[in-house]
Amino acid sequence: MTVRGFAAKRVVTCDPAQGGALGAIDDGLVVVDGARIAFVGRRENAPQGTPVEDLGERVITPGLIDAHTHACWVGSRDEEYAQRMAGRDYRDIARAGGGILSTHRAVAAATEEELADALVGRLRRMASLGVTTVEVKSGYGLDAPHEKRQLRAIARAAAHPDMPSVVPTLLALHALPPSCLDRAAYVARVTGDLVMEVAREKLARFVDAFVDAAAFSAEEALAIGKAALAVGLGVRLHVGQFADVGGAQLAASLGAASVDHLEHVSPEGIDTLARAGVTAVLLPVSSFTLDQPAPPVASLRAAGVPLVVASDANPGTAPTESLPLALAMAVRSYGLSPEEAILGATRNAATSLRLDDRGVLREGARADLAIWDLPHEQAIVQPWGLKKTHLVLVGGRAT
């Protein structure tokens, strides 16, 4: 049977056409036909003859979309975490060859299959928490062959059946490789050959760069952004995690899909983002872990910058795989409303990934659904740390 209806106390569509902050429908029904949604509305208006499963007091939302992760990694940074909790600085560990470089060594020593297997495990656990689309960055390979291998591992994991869909991103400028003696030559190589090869082999949809003090300058990232756009890839940028080095203005000038982090951004930077229609991807787990301040959420909101919330899942700054945990922190420590947090993991997250077939429940959209064992959608953002899903569908199939 390919047509199935799911009736629940609350169907949270996130579709502005339904009105209200989240387009919620009481006593609602979602009908799935194969991989697509065939009907969304009140239960009493169910298309005739549809077999309907009654989910009772539960809540249905669009499957959650995690728009920023570094989920393809192996190895362990547990020792570093303990050092950091004892007072050592993240950047100090990085300068001493740990941090990103530590995961780089583990990733470089692993096979493509080992990398893919690690990612498959994480994607499965993410799906169990309600996540149906995951952006996954490379960025631990550092040199061209290893970056491409990491992207091939991401593609291999994505091809497994009944997994969240994966949006791969080439994180081209993350850190200088350990053996690098010539910074300009490294940036030129990545900007030239690597971006072109990745586009030709369809290994990524976006290119990212870490634009920050002690990382890469806006000028270096400009080169990579232009190279990406020239071969039809979108741009997303790590901006202002530690300091404002002009990343927001750069993102706006490139027409980037997103700027991510934004703990440090000027009022002018916010204005240019708003005018250019760039989404802000907020990563509360990493600012919590690093003791960074919250981004200027009130100013971003007032300027009309669409807010996205993502997990940043990585072994250094965001030791979690849980997007619902990030939503909880976005509400608790960034001051987002529960509605803003939910939109930030559905409709706005889809916009930031340039996916127009998901993030809302409406006829014709992908049948990506999270069915929650919760009385109300506000319970997604608290209590924390629990698995709260009843059933998760990706393209109409149970994960």
Q: Pull the structure tokens for residue 321.
A: 């795989």
Interface residue with ligand NIG among 6, 210, 334, 372 (CB under 6 A) is 210
- Which CB sits closer to Fe ion, 7 or 204? 204
Smallest gap from residue 383 Cβ to Fe ion (A): 26
Smallest gap from residue 312 Cβ to ligand NIG (A): 5
C-alpha 259/C-alpha 268 separation (Å) is 15
Q: Which of 29, 62, 61, 26 is nearest to 45 (CA)?
A: 29
Point out which span in 123-131, 244-252, 290-298, 311-319 binds Fe ion (CB under 5 A). Answer: 311-319
Contacts of 286 (CB under 8 A, 6+ apart): 241, 261, 292, 312, 314, 317, 318
Point out which span in 98-106, 122-130, 217-225, 358-366 binds ligand NIG (CB under 6 A). Answer: 98-106
- Which CB sits closer to Fe ion, 143 or 312? 312
Interface residue with ligand NIG among 98, 130, 315, 359 (CB under 6 A) is 315
- Which CB sits closer to ligand NIG, 243 or 302? 243
Smallest gap from residue 35 Cβ to Fe ion (A): 30
Angstrom distances, CA of residue 301 to CA of 169, 220, 226? 27, 29, 28
Point out which span in 45-53, 189-197, 301-309, 313-321 binds ligand NIG (CB under 6 A). Answer: 313-321
Q: Please, which of residues 56-85 interact with ligand NIG by CB under 6 A?
A: 70
Angstrom distances, CA of residue 113 to CA of 108, 109, 186, 263? 12, 12, 27, 36
Total residues at the site for ligand NIG (CB under 6 A)?
A: 13
- CB 377 within 8 Å of CB 130: no
Interface residue with ligand NIG among 246, 306, 316, 359 (CB under 6 A) is 316
- By a kind-dependent CB cut-off of 5 to 8 A, residue 103 interacts, out of Fe ion, ligand NIG, none, with ligand NIG
Task: Please tell me whether residue 286 binds ligand NIG under the rule CB under 6 A.
Answer: yes
Smallest gap from residue 68 Cβ to Fe ion (A): 6
C-alpha 43/C-alpha 388 separation (Å) is 24
Angstrom distances, CA of residue 319 to CA of 123, 157, 290, 323, 334? 15, 21, 11, 12, 18
Point out which span in 28-36, 79-87, 296-304, 309-317 binds Fe ion (CB under 5 A). Answer: 309-317
Site string for ligand NIG, 227-266 (x = CB under 6 A): -----------x--x-------------------------
- By a kind-dependent CB cut-off of 5 to 8 A, residue 99 interacts, out of Fe ion, ligand NIG, none, with ligand NIG
| Diameter over CA atoms, the chain | 69
Q: Beta 369-372 vs 24-33: how paired, if at all? A: unpaired
Helix runs in 245-308, H state only: 247-254, 267-276, 284-290, 297-303
Interface residue with ligand NIG among 13, 61, 69, 103 (CB under 6 A) is 103
- Which CB sits closer to ligand NIG, 177 or 192? 177
Q: Pull the structure tokens for residue 108.
A: 């470089």
Smallest gap from residue 389 Cβ to ligand NIG (A): 26
- By a kind-dependent CB cut-off of 5 to 8 A, residue 5 interacts, out of ligand NIG, Fe ion, none, with none
- CB 237 within 8 Å of CB 256: yes
Question: What torsion do the CA atoms of 374, 376, 378, 382 make, to the nearest 10 degrees?
Answer: -30
As beta bridge partners, residue 382 has none
Point out which span in 56-64, 150-158, 182-190, 304-312 binds Fe ion (CB under 5 A). Answer: 304-312
- By a kind-dependent CB cut-off of 5 to 8 A, residue 241 interacts, out of ligand NIG, Fe ion, none, with ligand NIG
Smallest gap from residue 64 Cβ to ligand NIG (A): 19
Contacts of 140 (CB under 8 A, 6+ apart): 70, 72, 73, 100, 103, 104, 106, 107, 146, 150, 174
Q: Could you please report the per-residue DSSP string of 232-243?
A: T-EEEEEE-SS-
Smallest gap from residue 100 Cβ to ligand NIG (A): 5
- Which CB sits closer to Fe ion, 15 or 208? 208
Distance of CA 170 to the CA centre of its chain: 14
Q: Which of 227, 133, 114 is nearest to 172 (CA)?
A: 227
Q: Name the site residues for ligand NIG (rule: CB under 6 A).
A: 70, 99-100, 103, 210, 238, 241, 286, 312, 314-317
